[in-house]
Chain A
């Protein structure tokens, strides 16, 4: 188990941030989703042992978060959402200092800092001051300072916020590499669902301090049998009519046709219709709910 919470409640005055929350998550890469104000930040702080909770218990990496808070933070790396720096130092020193603050000796921290900066791709710029970095570089620097002490769990809070597509790709690639190849568990909190999908296998959805949904992404995204998404080269109107004449139910979404073939038939029916009518099919896929649909449905049901 990566972490588990049992009946955890945390209130700030009148606001209930976590409401009797119970969740158990296996190791690996898990996405943390939820609307604003759902308690994601509070849960992260609870996992880091930073805040006392009103009631409930739980453990992270088999350490009780009520009594072993400092030990937890030795094993956990955290890359917060907002920009944060120790100013006026070159980035090698920045990362080394971050390591020293966890308890590494100066030599260890410096050596490790170089290694980690190479890994995240900032090797060229490592002697420059951190204030001079671009947004993408600062995000990677944040990531580097979070993994300098080789944590078992890495918590990323909105790591791709405000980054351009190239930068986002790099961060996601690093996250994937760490989670899949290097055996580091990951908690990925983000609003950008495609990012979460590309990195995590498991996902938790929070809402108003409660757990709304959790599970493997591949299981949550159900495949609808007999339902296909079809995109044509030409305008879909005519072809849709033909399919309906053959007994299919046809619906439109954006520029896609949602076709439900009658029982007993397969997608071959659609190919046949296309061949007969000389239509060019550009895309044909079984309909799967996207993670966004899963999310929105979970939030609506709450």
Chain B
């Protein structure tokens, strides 16, 4: 036929199976998200900590091999214990763990920022522009819709958290040229990825639930910011108030101890020095006792639970087992400084499953809210 019908043609292609329907939503959302220059800049910024992580891991690798490249940096590493510098391999796991821990702290921040940027409009725009009939008149169930939208958040958080972790790990591995690292630290990498999954599930569903509550993405963004900052501040304030009470008592004891017995007036320089040293020793012991008590009471201190980001980082802390690393490092510290060292560096000490329960509760709440807000089309108009 020389002249072809320009009008409507029929189409007889194949339709994919129903289980892949969420993928279309995720793909579309990621494509639309990547168009925004804000998102792209945020992604680039979030990769900077990964660069630093790779750098530090490589330095450590060189240190282990005692290569000359590291020699000029040795004076800078003076803050590390000589025991560590002499035998880096022993402390490998600890070092890697703590580096990743710090890295993940940064990336948690960037994850929350990324969720703030791409999250609010995911469902609220669909509500605002009344796109629900378009979605649900197609062969799709609500669960596909939710999983698809969660997939968008997962994709971006993956780019922020998981991909940089992997790349930094591989770089560190390459610089160490030692495959035994794999055996030691593979668990670490897996924990990182597990942490990423936890963040996606928790922050993702929470953001989706918030997004479904309003038609205006700006309100949702503000609410998310509020939740993040306000909860952190409240947790920190309560914790400080609590700590200050005890520290107050502690200082009173120090003062009392120092002025309990009248000091003999030193006659010469030596005696003065001795006295001062004794006083310092005393102070340090009391400080140590205080730190030990703090550590003990921290085990049941529920106040950090109030901070949402704090809960997430507590889970990270548990997954990476940073407490063990700090404990090991503390062993190389002088006796009377250990507790203080641990108190200053370890994170909150309450049991990790408290955080897990809190996050699970939030997850459940989010699911309930989503279920309620997006009721498909089975309702009276």
In the complex they form, whether A and B have CB atoms below 8 Å apart is answered with yes
A residues near B (Cβ < 8 Å) are: 12, 15, 17, 41, 45, 48, 50-52, 69-74, 76, 78, 80, 82-89, 97-98, 100-106, 108, 112, 115-116, 118-119, 145, 147, 149-150, 177-178, 181-183
Inter-subunit contact A50/B134 (CB<8 Å): no
Inter-subunit contact A149/B378 (CB<8 Å): no
Across-interface contacts of A85 in B (CB, < 8 A): 129-131, 134
Inter-subunit contact A149/B380 (CB<8 Å): no
Nearest residue (CB) in B for A77 is B137
Across-interface contacts of A72 in B (CB, < 8 A): 139
Interface stretch, picked from B15-23, B255-263, B297-305, is B15-23
From B9, B137, B139, name the one whose CB has the most chain A CB atoms within 10 angstroms.
B137
Nearest residue (CB) in B for A42 is B380
Inter-subunit contact B130/A48 (CB<8 Å): no
CB-contact partner of B140 in A84, A87, A101, A147, under 8 A: A101
Distance between Cα atoms of A149 and B138 in the complex (Å): 10
Inter-subunit contact B15/A41 (CB<8 Å): no
Q: How far is the CB of A169 from chain B (nearest CB, A)?
A: 17
Q: How far is the CB of B211 from chain A (nearest CB, A)?
A: 14
17 example contacts (A-B, Cβ-Cβ < 8 A) are as follows: A50-B136, A50-B137, A69-B139, A70-B18, A73-B138, A74-B139, A82-B133, A86-B126, A100-B27, A101-B25, A102-B138, A102-B139, A112-B11, A116-B8, A182-B7, A182-B8, A182-B10
CB-contact partner of A104 in B15, B18, B125, B126, under 8 A: B15
From B8, B21, B132, name the one whose CB has the most chain A CB atoms within 10 angstroms.
B8
B residues near A (Cβ < 8 Å) are: 6-13, 15-18, 20-21, 24-25, 27-28, 32, 125-126, 128-141, 376-381
Q: How far is the CB of A162 from chain B (nearest CB, A)?
A: 15
Distance between Cα atoms of A104 and B136 in the complex (Å): 16
Inter-subunit contact B8/A103 (CB<8 Å): no
Across-interface contacts of A112 in B (CB, < 8 A): 11
Inter-subunit contact B377/A50 (CB<8 Å): yes
Interface of B is mostly: loop
Nearest residue (CB) in B for A183 is B10
Across-interface contacts of B7 in A (CB, < 8 A): 119, 177, 181-182
Distance between Cα atoms of A17 and B17 in the complex (Å): 33
Nearest residue (CB) in B for A49 is B139
Distance between Cα atoms of A118 and B41 in the complex (Å): 37
Across-interface contacts of B378 in A (CB, < 8 A): 45, 50-52
CB-contact partner of B137 in A80, A87, A116, under 8 A: A80
Across-interface contacts of B377 in A (CB, < 8 A): 45, 50-51
4 nearest A-B pairs in the assembled complex, by CB-CB distance: A103-B15, A150-B11, A78-B137, A100-B24
Evaluate whether A70 and B9 lie within 8 angstroms (CB atoms) in the complex, with A86-B129, A86-B131 already known. Answer: no
Inter-subunit contact B134/A98 (CB<8 Å): yes
Distance between Cα atoms of A116 and B11 in the complex (Å): 11
Distance between Cα atoms of A89 and B29 in the complex (Å): 11
Inter-subunit contact A119/B134 (CB<8 Å): no
CB-contact partner of A101 in B10, B11, B129, B135, under 8 A: B135
Distance between Cα atoms of A74 and B21 in the complex (Å): 12
Inter-subunit contact A101/B8 (CB<8 Å): no
Q: A50-B377, A80-B137, A87-B129 are in contact. List 6 more A-B contacts (CB 8 A).
A: A50-B378, A80-B133, A85-B130, A87-B125, A88-B32, A103-B16
Inter-subunit contact B129/A103 (CB<8 Å): no
Across-interface contacts of B135 in A (CB, < 8 A): 101
Across-interface contacts of A182 in B (CB, < 8 A): 7-8, 10
Nearest residue (CB) in A for B10 is A150
Evaluate whether A101 and B376 lie within 8 angstroms (CB atoms) in the complex, with A82-B130, A182-B10 already known. Answer: no
Inter-subunit contact A84/B10 (CB<8 Å): no
Inter-subunit contact A149/B11 (CB<8 Å): yes
Nearest residue (CB) in A for B11 is A150
CB-contact partner of B24 in A76, A84, A101, A116, under 8 A: A101
Nearest residue (CB) in B for A89 is B32
Evaluate whether A41 and B32 lie within 8 angstroms (CB atoms) in the complex, with A70-B18, A78-B137 already known. Answer: no
Across-interface contacts of A48 in B (CB, < 8 A): 137
Across-interface contacts of A149 in B (CB, < 8 A): 11, 15
Across-interface contacts of A89 in B (CB, < 8 A): 32
Distance between Cα atoms of A182 and B15 in the complex (Å): 21
Across-interface contacts of B126 in A (CB, < 8 A): 86
Q: How far is the CB of A122 from chain B (nearest CB, A)?
A: 14
Q: How far is the CB of B263 from chain A (nearest CB, A)?
A: 76
Distance between Cα atoms of A246 and B381 in the complex (Å): 57
Nearest residue (CB) in B for A80 is B133
Across-interface contacts of A104 in B (CB, < 8 A): 13, 15-16
Across-interface contacts of A41 in B (CB, < 8 A): 381
